[in-house]
């Protein structure tokens, strides 16, 4: 019986690559500014000169190469400065300011963003999820900078099946869904409730090791 279970597990692992599996190298079909505007592939000033030449980035970035570790340290320094500069401000103002600086990083460089979350999950969990996410949802229309997730409305009736294929990932392992009608006891926030799925999936990535490209 034990051998049968092991054989079944082996077949399952071969048939499907789980989110927690470490991905191998990927082929990047983008070049130039398209890479810099894609948070999946953007390394900011971390691109070495060989990659800048190969990907058409030379001249599009400041010439100095800044390592991933240096970028990490710079962000954390900026975050600590924000904490210092907002001392004495109302809690809601401070929380939204912290969310904004994390969200800007998320929009620009997802690799660095998730590294920051993983290493500082105790500090950042209350910012990307409860309690701050409720405040974010209430103010989402003013905080919105770039779309995340998918949106389905009554006008999409009959089109939802085809809309699913608009999602860029070929494999999705986890979905968080909300109708926006009961957000953390705040009531019906409609489309602004999208902040809940975004924050919850970021928690699954940072705390449970789910591949962020498959959520």
Would you please indicate which residues are annotated as catalytic (active-site) residues? 129, 200
Calpha distance 190→93 (Å, rounded)? 23
CB–CB of 65/46 below 8 Å? yes
Calpha distance 111→133 (Å, rounded)? 22
CB–CB of 105/42 below 8 Å? no
Burial class (CB in 10 A: 0-12, 13-18, 19+), 180: middle
């Amino acid at each position: 019986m034990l051998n049968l279970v092991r054989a079944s597990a082996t077949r399952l692992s071969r048939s499907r690559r789980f989110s927690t599996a470490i991905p191998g190298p990927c082929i990047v079909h983008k070049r130039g500014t398209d890479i810099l505007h894609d948070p999946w592939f953007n390394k900011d000033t971390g691109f070495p000169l060989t990659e800048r030449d190969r990907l058409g980035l030379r001249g599009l970035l400041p010439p100095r190469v800044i390592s991933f570790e240096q970028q990490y340290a710079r962000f954390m320094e900026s975050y600590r400065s924000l904490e210092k500069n907002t001392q004495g401000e109302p809690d809601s103002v401070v929380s939204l300011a912290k969310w904004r600086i994390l969200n800007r990083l998320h929009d620009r460089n997802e690799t660095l963003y998730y590294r920051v979350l993983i290493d500082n999950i105790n500090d950042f969990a209350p910012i990307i999820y409860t309690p701050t996410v409720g405040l974010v949802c209430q103010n989402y229309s003013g905080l919105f900078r770039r779309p995340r997730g998918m949106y389905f409305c009554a006008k999409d009736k009959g089109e939802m099946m085809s809309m699913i294929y608009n999602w860029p990932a070929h494999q999705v392992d986890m979905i968080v869904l909300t109708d926006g009608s009961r957000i953390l006891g705040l009531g019906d926030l409609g489309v602004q409730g999208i902040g809940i799925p975004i924050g919850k999936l970021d928690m699954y990535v940072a705390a449970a090791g789910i591949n962020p490209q498959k959520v």
